[in-house]
Amino acid sequence: MSQPEVMKYIQCYPDHIIQPVQQLLENKKLLPWFEQRYPQRHDIQSEKALFQYTVAIKNQFMKKTAPLSKVIYDSKIHLINHALGLHTYVSRVHGNKVKAKNEIRIAQVFKQAPEPLLRMLVVHELAHLKEKEHNKAFYQLCCHMEPNYHQLELDARLFMMVQDLKEK
C-alpha cells in the first residue's frame, strides 16, 4: 500500500499531526515507533471475554443505560462501513410488545490491538448508548470514561496504518 493510501486514516487531522507521521512513514519508522509505544497486545480474544470487558466499563460509568445484548468482533465492519466499531439499536416486535436490543460490534482487527486502543473503541461505542451523534456531549462522555480518549483515537488510526503496512 502506498504512502498516500495509508494516510487516509489521518487525513482529517491538522498538519502539525500529519507531518510527523509522514516523516515516520518516509523513514520507514512508523512500525518500530508504534511497536515501542504499544509493545503488548490484549488477551481479550473470545466474544464472551469482550462482552464481559465491555459490560464492566459500562457498569463503571453508565449503570443506568439500557443493557447490552451482544458485543462481538466483526470481520465485515472495516471493509463495508469504513468504521472501527458499530453500535446498533435493534427493535423487534414480539406480539404486542417491542423489544429493543443494544449491540456493539468491534472490527476484527482489534483482536490484535493493544488494550488501550480496544478500550477507546469500546468507550466510543458505549457513549452511543446515551449520545447518538458525534457532538460535544458525546466526546465529553468519551473523555469522562477514558481521559486519554483523543490521543487513543489518533493512535487507533495509526494502528490501522501499521496494519495496512504489515499487509504490504
Q: Tell me the CA end-to-end span of the chain in Å, nearest whole number.
A: 6
Q: Is 41 exposed, middle or buried (0-12, 13-18, 19+ CB in 10 A)?
A: middle
Cα separation of 110 and 164, whole Å? 13
pTM of the complete model = 0.88
Cα separation of 134 and 14, whole Å? 19
* Whole-number pLDDT of residue 80: 44
Report the share of the chain in percent with pLDDT over 90. Answer: 64
Cα separation of 98 and 124, whole Å? 26
